[in-house]
Amino acid sequence: MQVHPLPVDPRAPHPPRPVVLAVMDGVGVGAKDAGDAVATAKTPHLDALWRDAPTRTLLAHGPAVGLPGDDDMGNSEVGHNALGAGRIVRQGAGLVQDALADGSLFRGETWAWLLERPRAGTTLHLCGLLSDGNVHAHIDHVFALIDGAVRAGVRSIRLHALADGRDVDDGSYERYLGRLEAHLRSHDAAGVDARIASGGGRMVVTMDRYEADWSIVARGWQAHVHGDAPRFPDWAAAVAALRSQPGGASDQTLGPFAIHDAGGPIGAVADGDSFVFWNFRGDRALELTRAFEAGDDFAAFDRGRRPDARFAGMMQYDGDAHLPTRYLVAPPTIRCTMGEYLVATGLRQFAVSETQKFGHVTYFWNGNRSERLDPELETWREIESDRISFDQAPAMQAAAITDAAIAALNAAPAPALLRLNWANGDMVGHTGNLPATVRAMETVDAEVGRLLDACRDAGAVLLLTADHGNADDMWLRDKKGAPQRGADGAPLPRTSHTLAPVPLTIVDPRGGWRLRDDLPEAGLGNVAATVLQLLGRVPPEGMEPSLIRWET
């Protein structure tokens, strides 16, 4: 495909009006029972829109967003890729799966470069999220890397395994560590010294994103690179002890640990070692990557001794910044996005969210580019997120996001496309706190009402949707859908995304179109062409079809 200016659609009302595309992050269409924070919250504005305005659901998981299978939950990264690209893009999980299955990863130059020194006697370090959620990483990928290294002659391997509890059941860290330990022991007979060396919860160790809190990365650096963290003789003792410490009740916030023996930390990174970050998703991998690759001008935290180690990521996490320099699997190439067509057509865009989702309405939306497509035509606004557990302040920065969007809508000239993300449903939903998530949804509803009034006053079109499910199901459930219950009889909290479809509602004061009824399997990739039609342009070939049809 080639990007070109989009022709005017003669069937569309003219002149075109601005389109406001609002993403309610983590808001799916769920079971509408007591575990569904979306349904149980008091949401008069959403209720009225979903009852009276043109509304349908969209698929936001699995193959509909480029993930391998129907059991793969959608996430904010792939959701915003699909929204911005206007088509289904095969994503990181599938690309890594392919590279492992056909062996191309192990034939690559980066793999040979990484193993050159460990094959001669140094240590290979593998670090990342220990999970089969397939959002940031997959444990099967870790097993494959271990097996490939052993086949290649590496005899010293250290694992730095981070707890999930977000894309998988909370409290499952011990289970994943046990699986990893068993896999490592399967190589004992070959004389391989392979051990778990450090770990901790993803929300407090290593996996910060968008530079929201570099102290998280600093804890990971100290634990993984220096072995400087609370000391334990093995991972079982570490997790058992940390469970009783602040944050230990959840895998996400489990404190850092490092395994030590009589000689000190077993996993400190030495000169000559190699280090692989096995996450395939970029947003929570970039900062540790920078800590390894930046020179003496790095100032985010004091790294102390910086070992002469070779570093690579599972994928390249930022194509514009070329981070990391070395990577095992090439990321998806996403070109000819909606944003590129708008720039080519000379139409202005405005994007706003708070720190936690700012990269999603910019970097991921624009096809994994960290820089604006055209600084003259594209304005970005980041609002700093709170640095506390989001269930403590479930309103987050939703009001400030709406304020910024309304100000942009009332500017002269107004952007053709304004896009925003309210993070509440996802970030508060991930805490597992049902009452707080209900309050988060009530906040989002209030902001929907404010934005709707502003769009009506400006004559703008409002397109309201979501990127994946989360707040729609706050309970762990059995195969029949009944809640799983703890010893006290209360439903066990769910902290992960869901497989739910997401709502799409369009409020257009001009009308002249109807929602199509011949696209039952439509997904997030269909939104871009819909936006372009509402902007009075003919969508390009290669995009998923628009969800509306002109009636004139």
- Please state the domain extents for the chain: 19-90+334-550, 93-329
pLDDT of residue 320: 57
pLDDT of residue 319: 65
104-121 burial, b for 16+ CB within 10 Å, e for fewer? Answer: ebbebebbeebbebbbee
Average pLDDT value for residue range 233-249: 97
Average pLDDT value for residue range 114-134: 97
pLDDT digits (tens, 9 = 90+) for 394-449: 999 999 999 999 999 999 999 999 999 999 999 999 999 999 999 999 999 999 99
pLDDT-derived band at 93, boundaries 50, 70, 90: confident
Q: Which one has a higher pLDDT value, 187 or 92?
A: 187
Token pair of 316, please?
A: 């390249």
Average pLDDT value for residue range 291-302: 96
pLDDT of residue 496: 84
Q: What is the DSSP string of 239-293?
A: HHHHTTSTTTTSGGGPPPEEEEETTEESS---TT-EEEE----STTTHHHHHHHH
Amino acid code (one letter) for 447:
E
Query: Homologous superfamily of 19-90+334-550 in CATH?
Result: Alkaline Phosphatase, subunit A (3.40.720.10)
Q: Which one has a higher pLDDT value, 73 or 520?
A: 520
Active-site annotation holds for 385? no
402-426 burial, b for 16+ CB within 10 Å, e for fewer? Answer: bbbbbebbeeeebbbbbbbbbbbbb
| Measured torsion, CA atoms of residues 285, 291, 292, 298, in degrees rounded to the nearest 10 | 150
Neighbours of 182 (CB within 10 A): 9
CATH number of 93-329: 3.40.1450.10
pLDDT of residue 213 exceeding 70, the answer is yes
pLDDT-derived band at 63, boundaries 50, 70, 90: very high
pLDDT of residue 428: 97
pLDDT digits (tens, 9 = 90+) for 319-364: 657 799 999 998 777 999 999 999 999 999 999 999 999 999 999 9
Q: Are 504 and 547 contacting, i.e. CB atoms less than 8 angstroms apart?
A: yes
pLDDT of residue 374: 96
In the predicted model, what is the mean pLDDT of the chain?
95
